Amino acid sequence: MDNNIEAARLISEAFADVDVEAMEDCPMGEECGVHHRTDDSHLDDESQYGMIITYIGNYAVVTTDNPALESPSLLIRMMTGLIKDEDVPPMYQTTVYYVGDGVLWDMHEMGVKERLERVRYVTKHDEWATFSEEHDEVVYDVCAGNISLSKPVTEA
């Protein structure tokens, strides 16, 4: 299966697990980039976790953990040694979503097919040291028109 299509499927599955009731009263208020059309960044060097959201016109660029790493079957294979190091997916992922004039949160009510149609670009990376730079490169490429965003990755 094409890596971009697989990444889009995993993203869609991750959205399916979102607890809608718990998210209604976001503690971040208007500073939350998921619920409001505002750029947002959370970086934790100690745990090497981050999430960066940048809105550009009709698109949102999101860099965070690779959702493929949350697959129960992958975790079991890793714990039991049934997967080689080179087969472990990269740690981080940058995704460009089509959001129109909306926000990322709008996708939580969509069906799987519609969420997949919103994924326009996916790239993966492993190095925490370049986490922010990877995000900034995709933002630059979106702004410069260097990435085709006209079709979902499932159609590419």
- Please write the tens of the pLDDT for every residue from 90-132: 889 999 999 999 999 998 888 889 999 999 999 999 999 999 9
Provide the mean pLDDT of the chain.
83
Q: Give the H/E segment covering residue 20.
A: helix 20-23
Of 111, 114, 84, nearest to 99 by C-alpha is 114
User: Residue 50: pLDDT above 80?
Assistant: yes
pLDDT of residue 19: 46
Type of residue numbered 92: Y
With vertex at residue 117, the alpha carbon angle to CA 116 and CA 118, rounded to the nearest 5 degrees, is 90
Quick: pLDDT tens for 23-43.
456 766 777 888 889 999 999
What is the rounded average pLDDT of the residues 67-88? 75
What is the rounded average pLDDT of the residues 59-83? 81
41 beta partners: 52
What is the rounded average pLDDT of the residues 46-58? 95
Edge to edge, the sheet with strand 40-44 lists 40-44, 49-56, 59-65, 92-98, 119-125
